[in-house]
Amino acid sequence: MISVVLLGAGNVATHLYKEFKNSDTITVTQWYNRHINKISTYKNEVEVTDDLNALNIADIYILAISDDAISSVSKALPFQDRFVVHTSGTASLYDIDEKHRRGVFYPLQTFTKEADIDFSNIPLCIEALKKADFKLLKKLAQAIGSTDYKVSTEQRKRLHIAAVFANNFTNQLYRITHEITEANQMEFEILKPLILETAKKIQTMSPYVAQTGPAVRGDKKTIKKHLNLIENPQHKAIYKLLTNSILETHGRKKL
């Protein structure tokens, strides 16, 4: 059995709590939050507290808190030589106070509080300074059915940037297509199957091979037609830049 003390009450903390609770090999012995009212609905199933000095002994302390709080909260923990990890995509392992054994347990996924999350589909990026601690994080990831990846702090920083491209920027492209359909009295609905198929395709095919459309074909005539039709200057700038990016990737002359 792996005993866990969970700190924080955001999306990641809440999803981790629910997942740990369903596992046979993990027990959440305590749940801490600065504002206890945010977690008090769970008080019948787990010990909740807002007092760092009342924390139990556990195998792992998971700081599922904001990046800025990692340093101060880890410093304020009234013990040392215990295993303390954070769940951030950007914070360094070294943001955790050096009196602890330190690690990172970063689930690479987009969390919204309402939506149910299937952790078996969530890659867990793990990092630890000691071998035994690393093994424990591996066991923790496996206990909730996740695939674990050894990712260093430097790699994780780049991975977080990649996630911004894969998630936030992709979503903004969806938003732009929403704007285009609305501006032309069409339903956004019509694009949803294409969006889903595009994401499914690269599950088994590299994005390089999966590419289609005027830019990869070098079809400058269609590209020109499109640029003439796009009125929104920001849409036009994005069209140009991403078209050039595709042209460059596929060894064609840029616009």
Residues in 124-143 at the binding interface with a second copy, rule: CB under 8 A: 125
Q: Is 45 in the site for a second copy (CB under 8 A)?
A: no
Scanning residues 184 to 223, which ones bind a second copy (CB under 8 A)? Answer: 184-203, 206-208, 210-216, 222
Strands 123-128 and 48-49: unpaired
Among 2, 36, 69, 246, binds a second copy (CB under 8 A): 246
Rank residues 79 and 169 by Cβ distance to a second copy and give the closer one: 169
Rank residues 1 and 196 by Cβ distance to a second copy and give the closer one: 196
Rank residues 1 and 183 by Cβ distance to a second copy and give the closer one: 183
Residues with Cβ within 8 Å of 220's Cβ and at least 6 positions away in sequence, in order, are 214, 255
Scanning residues 54 to 73, which ones bind a second copy (CB under 8 A)? Answer: none
Among 36, 69, 129, 230, binds a second copy (CB under 8 A): 230
Site string for a second copy, 145-184 (x = CB under 8 A): ----x-x--xx-xxxxxxxxxxxxxxxxxxxxxx-xx-xx
Task: For the CB of residue 201, give the shortest distance to a second copy in the complex, in Å.
Answer: 7
Among 22, 56, 80, 121, binds a second copy (CB under 8 A): 121
Residues with Cβ within 8 Å of 82's Cβ and at least 6 positions away in sequence, in order, are 57, 58, 61, 100, 101
Rank residues 56 and 121 by Cβ distance to a second copy and give the closer one: 121
Q: Which DSSP string corresponds to 150-211?
A: E--HHHHHHHHHHHIIIIIIHHHHHHHHHHHHHHTT--GGGGHHHHHHHHHHTTTS-HHHH-
Rank residues 52 and 195 by Cβ distance to a second copy and give the closer one: 195
Encoded tokens for 66: 């904001």
The span from the CA of 96 to the CA of 184, in Å, is 52
Q: Are 109 and 163 in contact (CB under 8 A)?
A: no
CA dihedral sign, ordered 221, 224, 229, 232: positive
Q: Are 67 and 1 in contact (CB under 8 A)?
A: no
Cα–Cα nearest to 14, from 69, 77, 62, 73: 62
Rank residues 165 and 251 by Cβ distance to a second copy and give the closer one: 165
Q: Choose the stretch contacting a second copy; rule: CB under 8 A; options: 13-21, 40-48, 51-59, 109-117.
A: 109-117
Scanning residues 72 to 101, which ones bind a second copy (CB under 8 A)? Answer: 90
